[in-house]
Amino acid sequence: MEEVIESSFGHQAFYFYAEENGFVKGTLPLFYVRSLLFGRALISVPFGMYGGIVADDQHTEGSLLEAAKELARELRVRYLELRHIQKNDLHLPTRICM
């Protein structure tokens, strides 16, 4: 997916993951999207209906969210959008997709 989005749309990919004792406990894909209309943003799955943090526990979710927020600050984006469709332990807003 990374190659398709980067080569087709020019959105740079960033992948975060949390590991413990050699096992992946969580992951978060992000794409740096630049738009004349909407400005700069980090979006978990551009052109997709849903996606966001996938983690084994709340601590891992929180760590991945903090890493995403730090990247958002570094890139000076207008917003960070994680396309969760289910309630999560971080109490982030969700959207119902029909």
In a domain, 52, yes or no: yes
Q: What is the CATH number of the domain that holds 46?
A: 3.40.630.30
In a domain, 32, yes or no: yes
In a domain, 25, yes or no: yes
pTM for the model stands at 0.77
Residue 55's beta-bridge partner residues? Answer: 26
In a domain, 94, yes or no: no
In a domain, 93, yes or no: no
Look at the chain and report how many structural domains it folds into: 1
In a domain, 50, yes or no: yes
- State the pLDDT confidence band at 17, using cuts at 50, 70 and 90: very high
Cβ-proximal residues to 79 (8 Å cutoff; 6+ apart), any chain: 41, 42, 72
31-90 confidence digits (pLDDT tens): 898 888 888 888 887 665 667 888 999 899 899 999 999 999 999 998 888 877 666 666
Owning domain of residue 54: 2-81
In a domain, 16, yes or no: yes
In a domain, 58, yes or no: yes
